[in-house]
Amino acid sequence: MEDQPARGLRVYTAVQLFEVALFAAVLAYGILARLPSLALLGGGLLVGKAILNILATEGGTVLRLSLASYALGAFYVGVGLVLVHFFS
């Protein structure tokens, strides 16, 4: 007999959804308030979260995956800040 999947929303899934909603809110606020640095931060967090979820299928520890994915998100923010500085 196979194990039945858990019913309802798992805590991990709820945390993931909360993080995405929070990061999207930071992005939206940055756009609406015309604060490009804050918008870049929200976008970078979403990029990091997306890469983390993509890399999750590759295996490895959550710490290693988080460091790699959020480092790429930070790189995105850094490049964006340089572009904002020189083009605004």
Q: What is the pLDDT of residue 10?
A: 87
Q: What is the pLDDT of residue 9?
A: 77
Pick the closest to residue 77 from 31, 41, 51 (CA basis): 41
pLDDT in tens, the chain (88 residues): 556 666 777 888 899 999 999 999 999 999 999 999 999 999 999 999 999 999 988 888 889 999 999 999 999 999 999 999 999 8
Q: What is the pLDDT of residue 58?
A: 87
Whole-prediction pTM value? 0.83
Q: What sign does the dihedral 62-67-71-73 (CA atoms) show?
A: positive
